[in-house]
Chain A
């Protein structure tokens, strides 16, 4: 098919409504949604999970499945209504005119087909070119997405590639036919921050190079700021605010957008002085939406009788370019009013060291191949970990996947035993005691809050029973009645209604489940709580509430919190000290201020640069790390970071490649593991600059 020349908007969505039909009822997923994408423009679609943003994307692709149907409105692509096209015409457009990039690259690639074949297929279908020409094209595009060794790539199967490489292949596949519109559905959610930064960079460059329009779907405001020209904020199936990035970020005109910005940790937020403001309540289920404004029940500016009286339309905001909001009162609200101060709190005094880790090593022996075990390989998950944690402090452990942070948590919990070194809890060595040999005291004093609250609660046991079970194991309370009383106190502590004791986990939302998880962890008066990415599975608006709760309980109980995360924004917000890990090594350790300001370890510098920040006044230095994290099975010689370090050339004699750097003390309590000379470190510039207001 020849591509038609067309001048108007690439994509025009007018008053689109999409519903899913179940046996019980019709569930509206998207209502009254309008958006226009001009040629070469990047449009962001932002919202929490379940707000309908992916449904819009699938609606554009006309791939809503058996149950989904467009019940109103039109989707026009280059002036042609997509819903009136035949299956034949749609197939022509898919892949050649509109291409899509998906959230999970591994699942989106056919596991039993070579990469090359999957790529070559696209132009062969749409342009009918020969396999040879298609191969040439594939080679070219794979080079364009900056993958090393393109020929070998085309000969590999998807499982032989890393996550970042797979996503590049999916991007390459989308670009094979040079489409006019690219739909990106959370393209980097499954990737590490530094890989994410590189992929985002790539998408931006390719968009410019090929002149492609983009529809960028994400829950991450910072990412949208970095990639898009315009954005549309969605809430519960509706667009609530749309406009250019500057207008929406700096002159927001909808209470939800405002609340969203106040609930994410931006530079300057502080857990004691300027705490986050969580959005009260929960996201409404599609069949339980309130009358009138969907955000009404959670809105600070809600006016009974007006906001819930009728359906709210989009209102253009005068003076701005195509800026519109779905709020009746947007002209009455004082958008610059300072945040109603949530109570500020005193930072807790940090006590004596509770936990001491000394040269901890954890090696795994794995068979080189799962099925055909031959010789063994050693995975060096933790190599030389040393640090202290004090009573009442929050120590964040930061690093990308594979850096060994979860392994450390397992060793501390006793799920694994250490290979070498020591973990001392109150001067007692615990590194060699597996969990089943630990006494009640030890088990209850070292507890964990897990990453995924959906899988960590027993689905067939009521919430109260599960907490009481934990109490029983920790030896709290002599009788069931005593334990029940304590359990109700714990529910109060995590701010859940006491009636929740009799509920089953499936009746709870993600945030509520995580509160139960927190209650369980603190049930036995834990001294140390390891929180392994406790909020990463939750929606943005709930994250703030759960984070604050964790902080509050910690303050009261004087617990030592080891906060494992890859999200530097939240780490900066809540931790007292930060430890940066890379390939099993502690590369930097210091107070939050020390770590977040220069001099940095080169890896910390790159991490900071990679984190998207949703603030237009923040200017970041642009550092993109090349390549992937090396495998822990085959770590590089010398400094673990030397393969990706941009400062390597500044160190004379190539010692980065031959010697592991020593731990150097830069200031009181600040240490880094780097060969860079003192004056090189002193010359480092801050990565994040906040423009003067």
Chain B
């Protein structure tokens, strides 16, 4: 088992390197850099000035070497000006040339400087990821149990009235995008149009402290959307299991219906949805963009949008590293969990 996990981690690291390199190459394309130079320097720079700026800031090195520097495996660039002033990747006002480390990249914990938020990328991501993490936790806590219960109730008697009504609900919620359901929810529960005013239509205050009032609507909006999907998967898996021969065996053994569902069908039916649930985590991380914008909750999705629209290369890279790591880690968890759910592929 340990060997298996080590191998998987090895493959994960390789995948992460490839993926981040792709993102790095795409964000560091010529036009992006030119835009960066103009926003950092002067909007009315001439082409020559742009070229000089790029050269002075180390952007003219080959792509691979820049990627290595960003990663922190190659030494950061240094150059000496005509007047003897040394500048370099790892040298800044706070860190003069004589004490600057040779390498400074992601591996050394130096994730760069966000040009838009004027802050260290690592602290931005840490803060925003934390906020989204709280949101995700509540979404999962609501969505997964609800979806599993719905799926199992629907799937245990295929074609029954319960199955049809639950299926209709889950299809309807999945078919409604978050920006529609979010608006509807706000209208019904938070505006004076209906007049219920149970919850707040914005989650800005939730960034300082979560209350039932300010956090319910964003959580419900995301959970509704994802719930239908998982419920459908669970239902499909459950109906398949319920027609399996070993369920007939159990039935003809005299096992009562609720014990058939709970003891015989449940574990087998959860094998397939488990993978789907694990895939939901990375989807949530990036998919919260709409809801975060809608409810003005400045989390990870919001940061990603800001970084992308403002050509904030280092922040964007930081976000993508986080996204890649989350995807790969959840996949690892899903593979390991699968082994525990399904005794047929357990290691001898």
Contact = CB atoms under 8 A, between A and B. Distances in A.
A95 B254 contact: yes
* Majority SS at the chain B contact face: helix
Given A66-B159, A159-B344, A374 B3 contact: yes
A37 B341 CA distance: 44
B249 interface: yes
A122 B267 contact: no
A100 B244 CA distance: 16
Contact of A104 (B3, B245, B255, B344): B245
Given A122-B253, A374-B3, A112 B345 contact: no
Interface in A48-102: 61, 63, 66, 91-96, 99-100, 102
Contacts of A170: 249
Interface string B250-266: 11111110010001100
Given A66-B159, A107-B246, A157-B343, A126 B252 contact: no
B248 A63 contact: yes
Interface stretch (A221-229, A279-287, A365-373): A365-373
A11 B182 CA distance: 63
B342 interface: yes
A111 interface: yes
A95 B259 CA distance: 15
B3 A125 contact: no
Interface string A366-392: 001111101000000000000000000
A121 interface: yes
Contact of B344 (A66, A92, A157): A157
A159 B3 contact: no
Contact of B254 (A93, A108, A369): A93
A107 B271 CA distance: 17
A110 B268 contact: yes
Contact of A110 (B252, B264, B345, B347): B264
Contacts of A121: 250, 253, 255, 263
A102 B246 CA distance: 10
Interface in B231-253: 244-246, 248-253
A294 B249 CA distance: 33
A63 B255 contact: no
B161 to A, nearest CB: 14
Contact of A94 (B1, B251, B341, B344): B251
B4 A372 contact: yes
Contacts of A368: 348
Contact of B246 (A92, A111, A122, A126): A111
A113 interface: yes
Contacts of B184: none
Nearest to B269: A112
Nearest to B8: A372
B253 A369 contact: no
B152 to A, nearest CB: 15
B253 A173 contact: yes
A634 to B, nearest CB: 13
B339 interface: yes
Contacts of B253: 94-95, 99, 121-122, 125, 173
Contact of A96 (B248, B254, B263, B342): B254
A218 to B, nearest CB: 18
A102 B252 CA distance: 11
Interface size on B, as a range, is: 20 to 34
A34 B268 CA distance: 39
Contact of A112 (B248, B341, B347): B341
A446 interface: no
A159 B344 CA distance: 6
A359 B280 CA distance: 56
Most buried by B among A93, A111, A126, A369: A111
A106 to B, nearest CB: 9
Given A108-B245, A369-B348, A113 B264 contact: yes
A109 interface: yes
Interface string A117-158: 000011001100000000000000000000000000000010
B343 A111 contact: yes
Interface in B258-290: 259, 263-264, 267-268, 271
Nearest to A104: B245
Given A111-B343, A112-B267, A112-B343, A125 B245 contact: no
Contacts of A100: 249, 252
Nearest to A159: B344
B252 A61 contact: yes
Given A91-B256, A371-B339, A111 B251 contact: no
A368 B348 CA distance: 9
Interface in B198-228: none
Nearest to B265: A110
A108 B339 contact: no
Contacts of B250: 110, 121
Contacts of A374: 3
Contacts of A102: 245, 248-249
B131 to A, nearest CB: 37
A94 B3 CA distance: 47
B260 to A, nearest CB: 10
A94 to B, nearest CB: 4
Nearest to B253: A95
Given A63-B251, A66-B159, A94-B254, A371 B345 contact: yes
A27 to B, nearest CB: 19
A111 B300 CA distance: 42
A109 B246 contact: yes
Interface in A586-610: none
Most buried by A among B4, B244, B252, B339: B252
A43 B342 CA distance: 40
Interface string A537-554: 000000000000000000
A83 B256 CA distance: 18
A108 B255 contact: no
A194 B159 CA distance: 44
Interface in A407-449: none
Given A112-B341, A113-B264, A369-B348, A107 B252 contact: no
Question: 3 smallest A-B Cβ distances: which pairs?
Answer: A95-B254, A95-B253, A107-B245
Given A121-B253, A372-B347, 9 more contacts: A63-B248, A91-B254, A91-B255, A99-B253, A111-B246, A111-B344, A113-B263, A125-B254, A372-B1
Interface of A: 61, 63, 66, 91-96, 99-100, 102, 104, 107-113, 121-122, 125-126, 157, 159, 170, 173, 368-372, 374
23 contacts: A61-B252, A63-B252, A94-B251, A94-B253, A100-B249, A108-B245, A108-B248, A109-B246, A110-B246, A110-B268, A111-B343, A112-B268, A112-B341, A112-B343, A113-B263, A125-B256, A125-B259, A157-B344, A159-B343, A173-B253, A369-B348, A371-B347, A374-B3
